[in-house]
Structure 1
Amino acid sequence: MGQQGKVETYKERVSIDEENKTIHLTALEGTDCLEFYKSYNLIFQIIPKGETKVVKITIGYEKRNKDVSDPQKYLNYLINLFKDVDSKLVQA
């Protein structure tokens, strides 16, 4: 993730809510992510849609200052990741 060719890592706390079919990831330590954001949280929710399921991705964050951009690169990464997973599942 991050700039092209640059790997970013961070430690996260994971909590799972089976009843609501959600996974919460909260960044605890990391490289660029927490350099720019005071807090960074991902929520994945599985939503049944007929015979299929949809994944809703929510990114919660607080910028360190007003000059920091929205975390669009992280959202784009996640969208591409899920597209790749989806294409592999369809092939199976």
Structure 2
Amino acid sequence: MDPSVAAIVQFHHGKTEDGKAILSKEVLITIDDKNHSVTLKMIEGLLMESHKSFKFIVQATPKDEGSLVHSTLIHEKLNVDVPDPNTMLQFAIDQTKDVEAHPTQV
């Protein structure tokens, strides 16, 4: 990725138990064409109130028919009492299903 080009993306990850929208802003750090991966770093959002850092890596490995997608979530909690970010795991699953529902030809 050209270092002079940056992208900030806003995501809607769902809602909290009390109905509050879970939003985040993320910076696109890298696009790795060779490894078919992208890396995003969260810079704003509800989860940043309880975490020091969040990084997402999504990699697609081409297969005979389609691709195998690996989603990696790297996060550091502010303390041990912070619950695991299960909403983010579900968001990754939902995004993968959305992409799978819209096949593309390269």
User: TM-score if structure 1 supplies the norm length?
Assistant: 0.82
Alignment of 1:1-92 (within 5 A): 1-4=14-17, 5-14=19-28, 15-30=30-45, 32-89=46-103
User: TM-score if structure 2 supplies the norm length?
Assistant: 0.73
User: 1:2, 1:74 within 8 Å by CA — same for their partners in 2?
Assistant: no
Unaligned runs of 5+ in 2: 1-13
Unaligned runs of 5+ in 1: none
Distance apart, 1:2 and its partner CA: 3.7
Whole-angstrom CA distance in 2 between matches of 1:36 and 1:2: 16
Q: What is the total number of aligned residue pairs between the two structures?
A: 89
Q: Which runs of 4+ in 1 moved over 4 A?
A: none
Provide the secondary structure at the position in 1 that maps to 2:58. Answer: strand
The structure in which a higher percent of residues are helix is 1
Distance apart, 1:38 and its partner CA: 0.5
Distance apart, 1:74 and its partner CA: 0.8
| Aligned alpha-carbon RMSD (Å) | 1.9
Query: Which structure's relative contact order is higher, taking Cα pairs within 8 Å and 6+ residues apart?
Result: 1
Residues 77 and 37 of structure 1: is their aligned pair in 2 closer, same or farther, counting only changes over 3 Å? same
Identical amino acids, percent of aligned pairs: 36
